[in-house]
Structure 1
């Protein structure tokens, strides 16, 4: 599993007596072969926050359907005020995406894809929107299974 740190923020809570500092880490994990997950960790030390985020990402891994290094069809998704549009691309196009979207797509194992992010560019919402769009992707086999069709039913009439 590959792990990438997306953001590491220092958060300050001010009280009457003093300031309390803590860290928030956002980590994405993937195997570059159709499995990806993300996690958010909070702790007093940055190393602990990153470790916690990585552990949560391990627990939230999802399987993505890929065909030949790209996705089988166009897909849209929304999380919060973040809108993502993913479109399959021909061989040699590469990953046309920016920032957080690129990190997620690289860790999934997508080689050729076009993407457009609209609305909020909050990293947490971006990751959630991209993973939502990727999990909604279906191929011909899953669609026929949902409809109750098998190869025997199709060829016999």
Structure 2
């Protein structure tokens, strides 16, 4: 699912204490010759609140089944996100469909300044201080995926130094 991103560390769910957050449930309708067939679509974010997070989508005729399928899907898509002192290492923008998300690191004590879908993802990651802005589409599915797009592009200072082949001091001081 995340093959387009470099430096993505996939994580196995075994041994992790994961908490799931329901982002949204939508009722969907399929019109057939015999009438309307109703179903449900659920999007869930799971994370250990320590840098590991995953998102999943579940569909079923029943809400509970859709949520449980979404949780299982999310556990299959776990990735590690670099954090720096309870916030993000740097500013990052993400995009998916019509949704655009901007994430900014914040000073300690700021809290999570974010709307519904973005907040669920950031809380699951374990970020404590961050500023965010959602622009464009407010569709929860696209906002979650745009937030993941931004998070998966984050790089720690150590990673940047390693990629550039320079010392950590040179990354910060130029």
Q: Would you say same fold, with TM above 0.5?
A: yes
- Of 55, 70, 81, the residue aligned with 1:53 is 70
State the alpha-carbon separation in 1 of the partners of residues 36 and 97 from structure 2.
31
User: What residue number does 1:4 align with?
Assistant: 21
8 Å CA contact retained: 2:89, 2:157: no
Q: Which runs of 5+ in 2 are unaligned?
A: 1-17, 169-174
Moved more, 76-85 or 65-74: 76-85
Alpha-carbon distance in structure 2 between the residues aligned to 1:45 and 1:78: 31
RMSD (Å), alpha carbons: 1.5
TM-score under structure 1 length normalisation: 0.91
The Cα of 1:150 is off from its aligned counterpart by: 5.8
User: Where does residue 163 of structure 2 map in the other structure?
Assistant: 146
| Pair 1:39 & 2:53 matched | no
Local SS of the residue matching 1:90? coil
Matches within 5 A, 1:127-138: 127-138=144-155
Which string of whole-angstrom CA distances, capped at 9 and with x for unpartnered residues, describes residues 68-90 of structure 1? 10011111111111111111111
Matching residue of 2:12: none
Structure 1: state its 5+ residue gaps.
152-157
